[in-house]
Structure 1
Amino acid sequence: MTTFLALETSCDETAAAVFTDDLTVLSSVVASQTDLHARFGGVVPEIASRAHLRNLLPVVDEALGRANVPLRDIGCVAVHNTPGLVGALLVGVSAAKALALGLGVPLVAVNHVASHIFACRLAAGRDIFPCVGLVVSGGHTALFRCDTALSLELLGGTRDDAAGEAFDKVAAILGLGFPGGPAVEREAAGGNPKAHAFPRTFIDDGRLEFSFSGLKTAVLYACHGQDVKRATPPPPGPRRADLAASFQAAVVDVLTMKCKQALRKTGLTRLAVGGGVSANKPLRAALQAMCVKEGAELLIPPLALCTDNAAMAALAVEKWKRSEFAPPDLDAEPN
Structure 2
Amino acid sequence: MPDETSPARPDGEGLLLLVNSRAGEAVVRADPLPEIRARLPRARVRELGPDDDLDDVVAEAMAGGDPPRVLGVLGGDGSVSRMAHLARAHDVPLFVVPGGTFNHFARSAGLDDVDAALAAFAAGRLREVTVAELSIDDGDPITVLNAVSLGNYPQFLAERTERASLGKWLGGVGAIFSALREGRPVRVSRDGRTATIWSAFVGVGRNDPQRHAMMQRVTLDDPVLDVRLHHARGSRVRAMASLAFGRRTLQVLRALRVMPPASEFEREVTDSWRVRVQPGAAPAVYVHDGELEQASPSGFVLAVRAVPAGLRVYAP
> Fold match, TM over 0.5?
no
- Relative to the length of structure 2, the TM-score reads 0.32
Q: Which has the higher strand share?
A: 2
Q: Which has the higher helix share?
A: 1
